[in-house]
Amino acid sequence: MSIQTRDAGAGFIATDPQLTTSESGRARFYARFGQEHFRKEDDGSFTKLETSFHHLVMFGKSAEHAAERFAKGDNFIADGYVRTSTYEKEGGMVESEEFVASRIGHDAARTRYEVDRSPRRDAVNASSFAPPAARSAPATVGL
């Protein structure tokens, strides 16, 4: 069986997230996000380039969870896809790209956080998952 992959995006939430309802009645999360860019120099150092800003959207329950957990300034990693969207701005229609995330989480390399491993209320069968302490330790290999 092959490894399933999707497009991914990483950055920081640049605006206060908004939770609204889509035209079809589903929850819709929206925020602008920024991506920092760097160029590696011949001496091994990095030069910071201009930050780019983009649209981030999510739908359904994932959107509701993201709205509860994310705030302006948070660093994230998300998977999903890029699509072209059209919206009205200053009386005219504007075409742009947006990242439609299906999953999102805080960037562990840039965020301090604690993990709550208690079973979720909506877990289908929490008994089939053993908490980390109950899992067997990995075998060690001598070098």
pLDDT band at 50 (very low <50, low <70, confident <90, very high): very high
pLDDT band at 10 (very low <50, low <70, confident <90, very high): very high
Asked if residue 139 has pLDDT above 50, the reply is no
The CA distance from 9 to 71, in Å, is 17
User: What does the buried/exposed string (b/e) look like for 83-114 if buried means 16 or more CB atoms within 10 Å of the residue's CB?
Assistant: eeeeeeeeeeeeeeebbbbeebeeeeeeeeee
pLDDT band at 33 (very low <50, low <70, confident <90, very high): very high
Q: Which CATH class is domain 8-106?
A: mainly beta
pTM of this structure: 0.75
Q: 133 in helix, strand or coil?
A: helix
Predicted confidence at residue 137, as pLDDT, reads 47
